[in-house]
Amino acid sequence: MPMARRLAGRGFAVTAVDPSDEVRAVAERCGMRVLADVASAPVADAVLVLVATGDQLLDAVSTATTHRRVERETWILSSTVGPTAAQEAATLLARAVHLAAAAEALAVVTRLGLSPVATVAPISGGSGSSWFLDDRPRMADLGTTPPVRTRLAILAKDNELVEREADARGARVPLLKAARGQYVRATELGLLEADDSQIIRAYLD
């Protein structure tokens, strides 16, 4: 609360997220927007995280990456939770992984003979939802070539950078490496200059 008060006092727009009704009431009296869950928090320039345990950190990051776009945010961890939880959180925040996961889900749907377009809504409304799946419905339009909004090369680069840092520190990141394999496949198919939604072709071609 002292950090949040100081930021609000300096003119920053602060959204305070806390499960406690009492804490939120105090924050609201200090002129902050208050929310009980990070899932509904607006996209911010910086996200200052103060938690008690690594599990709480991972829960917050998992919720955020599932329901919000976090790729332009800087997450600042101000808690002592240990390097393992911190590295796992960093991996969850890495975008490439979620794009590849969304493509994989739609590829499986296609192989099952179902319509990927019709399947997006049910998946998005369930526990398998992700921000990329919600934001890239064009991924499901397999017969079209969408305009380039974000080059696939950018996410491939980000994935490689995170993998390199994880390997250098001995972090175990099997999901990241699985996603990396699909970016390598996309490179082989000449898709790096295509819209990032076209990673789905790495699963189908």
pLDDT digits (tens, 9 = 90+) for 40-87: 888 888 888 888 888 888 888 877 776 666 766 788 888 877 777 777
Clarify whether residues 51 and 106 are in a common domain.
Answer: no
Looking at the structure, tell me whether residues 77 and 100 fall in a common domain. Answer: no
User: What's the pTM value of the predicted model, to 2 decimals?
Assistant: 0.48
How confident is the model at residue 97, as a pLDDT? 62
Please give the backbone phi and psi of residue 22, each rounded to the nearest 5 degrees, phi first.
-65, -45
Residues 121 and 185 placed together within one structural domain of the fold: yes
Residue 9 belongs to what domain range? 2-81
**Residues 14 and 75 occupy one common structural domain:** yes
Tokens coding 48:
């200052």
Place of tokens 């699985």: 178
In this predicted structure, the answer to whether residue 191 has a pLDDT above a threshold of 80 is yes
Choosing from 55, 81, 107, the residue where a domain stops is 81
> Does residue 100 share a domain with residue 73?
no
Residues 65 and 156 in one domain: no
Residues 64 and 123 in one domain: no
Please state the rounded mean pLDDT for residues 31-36.
Answer: 90
**What is the three-state SS of 41-56?**
CCCCCEEEECCCCHHH
Report the range of poorest mean pLDDT among 18-22, 37-41, 81-85, 186-190: 81-85
pLDDT at 166 over 80: no
Q: Which residues of 186-197 are buried (b: 16+ CB within 10 A; e: fewer)?
A: beeeebbebbbb
For residue 142, give Cα distances in angstroms to 115, 138, 139, 169, 205. Answer: 10, 8, 7, 39, 11
